Amino acid sequence: MDLAETDNEAMQWAAITGVIATVSVFAIAQGLSYPLLSFILQRQGVSPAMIGLSAAMTPIGFIVSSPLIPALARRFGAGRTALTCAALSAIVLALIGWTQNVYLWFPLRFLIGVVTNPLYVLSEIWVIALAPPSRRGRVMGVYSTIISAGFAAGPLCLLAVGTEGWPPFLVGVAAFVFCGACLALVLPRLPRVDQAGHRVSVMGFMPMAWLLLSAVVVAAGFEQAVLALLPVYGTHYGITETRMSALLSVMIAGNIAMQVPLGLLAERLTARLVRFVCVSLTVLGCALLPLLIDTPLIWPSVFIWGAVSYGIYTMSIIELGERFTGSALVAGNAAFSLMWGVGGILVPPLTGGVMDVIGASGLPITLGAICLALAVTTVLRQRIV
């Protein structure tokens, strides 16, 4: 390898590092905002149902904005779009802090979903495009790990600054500003993903990779349903809130710790095969949950469960990068974001409804059935290897 190639590779890794740093700061800001706004509304005496509806505005913003991202990237450039979204995110979060009104927060939380989604989608596209094909698994594993750690770190910031007044909002605003600054530094080194290839829309992309998009719906729905309903499931067995919170923390730890090993495994095998294994192990976790929930074995089980359930998404992202480039990659990643929002909105209420009808067992049965359907469809529709 000559000196020019060495310099190019060093610049490529520097750009990857810069984009991952950008999106990690964004994740901290997002992770901070969700519990912060819930705490404020709770102090105002707002009902849990209204708090839940308020929180749903952000994923609805994701869904609405996703089809617009490819056109915005083509019209204004991916870099300019992402920088504008970082600035708008800071402004909208400041407006949320200024208004402190549950009804005004509905449109503002919708807007923050609209303006943060392109920043997230385009950053992910840059990481996929920059990652060397032979190392894409580990790069996307690191990316997924840092995103998860950033979301987990957001609530920890509230321990330092509290949940009252302007300080927590200023942390979030500063995070978005810093996010834009990091992005501006690496922008000249980023590929022009918005201009490569023929034009593909989000809706046009869906028939091209419907099984990948189905996997995203399953991964998103599973994560949101477990976070929302596993504590409810535990009460059926008389398990304390403290223990259930600890179980969820262990599950998130599995998610954070195991994405890089799964990415390395995808490099040795294939992302499609590892995704199938992740789906199968998630089904097994659903089947074992009622048997292990009140035993010491539940701790390693939920650790693995968290790793493989989120691994479904990580492997889907890796396969997206393997199969698509240019305009199709932009449209595909925007479609991933849309499907993540769809899964997060549809699966938790479905699972909760089944639990209302048949009891606590509705949680593992519903989630296990959804994951099993994905596994069976994978086998029937395409070769795994």
Helix 78-99, helix 3-43: angle, nearest 10: 20
| Cβ neighbours for 323, distance < 8 A, ≥ 6 positions apart | 209
Give me the chain's average pLDDT, please: 84
Please give the domain boundaries of the chain with CATH numbers for all domains: 1-189 (1.20.1250.20), 200-384 (1.20.1250.20)
pLDDT band for position 57 (cuts 50, 70, 90): confident
Query: Is residue 140 over pLDDT 70?
Result: yes
- Max mean pLDDT among 47-56, 152-161, 306-315, 319-328 falls in 306-315
Distance CA 166, CA 158 (A): 12
Q: Please report the pLDDT score of residue 75 as a whole number.
A: 84
Distance CA 40, CA 144 (A): 29
pLDDT digits (tens, 9 = 90+) for 260-291: 899 999 989 888 999 999 999 999 999 999 99
Instruction: Tell me what the mean pLDDT of segment 162-168 comes to.
Output: 84
pLDDT band for position 107 (cuts 50, 70, 90): very high
Distance CA 273, CA 279 (A): 10
> What count of Cα atoms within 13 Å lies in the side-chain half-sphere of residue 246?
10
| Token reading at 131 | 């990652």
> What count of Cα atoms within 13 Å lies in the side-chain half-sphere of residue 183?
29
Distance CA 340, CA 373 (A): 18
Instruction: Tell me what the mean pLDDT of segment 179-205 comes to.
Output: 76
